[in-house]
Amino acid sequence: MSTHHCQLDIDSRGVARLTLDRPAVHNAFDDALIAALNAHLERLHALAASGEVRVVVLGSHGKHFSAGADLAWMKRMVDYSVDDNLADSRQLSRLMHGLDTLPCPTLCRVQGAAYGGAVGLAACCDLVIASMAARFCLSEVKIGLSPAVVGPYVQRAIGARQMRRYALTAEVIDAATARELGLVHQVEAGDALDEEIDRQIDTLLAPSPQAQRATKALLAQIAREPESDAIREAACRTISELRVSAEGQEGLAAFFDKRPPAWLVASGGDKEPRS
């Protein structure tokens, strides 16, 4: 399924690949691309909630992950009113929120430049694997703007202190530094990037899909209110409901029987992920 230089492919294992395909403009954002991504994410939310999609891989074609805002789009925005800009910003915010709240695990593949809003895309994913040549930059202040919409997600990833530095200086962050900051989980040589992506997909397909969805929802709740009676009760309820669920019972039975659980067999795997 392809719309406005954005592709969505779902394989028989339930692995969805959402791919930016505008290499001629370094996969830059414009309003049409944002709308297409939002449409795909809306579909993916439904498919992930039902278990039909197990993992979402976000990537792009070409030398760069994404250069941020499209120059032609930015030129058009010069004449936008405040209300026009507000409507535009809300669509970008919808994109970040939609990616961040997908029920299933998300994996981001970053090569080359990831500037502006692209840093937000990475921060919204559960795992980020970058090539050694990857570069990140919150570049907005250099042109009189702000990384406002992506700010909450990037700050959550790298912390408030580091966010103040990089949002205000617009310094370029190399892949190794991005890993130290917590924005990136792994850095791989360019020729090993896709091999590692495939390995991580296998790793993410091995656990219980229901348990992954429940855990991701609980972690989001913990992030909003780290210590409270409500969180403690939610944690107790999560594990209790999983233990008595059909999938939880299958997982325990498979463990004691020393056999692969049904969901792993159904996803095409009958052994542990490659290490």
* Residues annotated as part of the active site: 140
Diameter of the chain measured on Cα atoms: 66
What are the backbone angles phi and psi of residue 134, rounded to the nearest 5°?
Answer: -65, 145
CB 118 within 8 A of CB 68: yes
d(CA 52, CA 35): 23
Return left, alpha or beta for 227; rule: phi > 0 is left, psi -120 to 50 is alpha, else beta. Answer: beta
d(CA 130, CA 64): 11
CB 116 within 8 A of CB 147: yes
